[in-house]
Amino acid sequence: MSPFDRKAPRLSVEEARTRTGGEQPEAVLLDVREQPEWKAGHAPNAVHAPLTGLVSGAALPAAARGRALAVICRSGHRSRQAAKLLAERGADAVDVKGGMNAWAAAGHPVVDGRGNSGSIG
């Protein structure tokens, strides 16, 4: 059973943070931005799977397989494309409206590739 309401195909950053946080998250925050963007700044518990890889047939990282996915990018465009692609492959995937721009604007943590304070370009 999906933790996502199919009547609302997009999640707010608040919904995404709630559903992907805590000790037993009900979903994985899947960041589909490219490597340089990921290294500059991402959500602390996100899993990385660049959209270019997914489009070319790459498998999801092990931490995201068989899990509900809250898909995020910088602004929401790529995450919509990725969520659609993943749903077509049978995944329970919903994109996060506003992406990492909205995540950071809401004051949620962003870390770089070394775990320090990161930025969204």
Q: Exposed, middle or buried, 105 (CB in 10 Å: 0-12/13-18/19+)?
A: exposed
Catalytic residue among 13, 73, 110, 120: 73
> Active-site residue 73, yes or no?
yes
The helix or strand, by DSSP H or E, that contains position 29, with its residue range, turns out to be: strand 27-31
Supply the DSSP symbol for 8.
Answer: S
Active site residues: 73
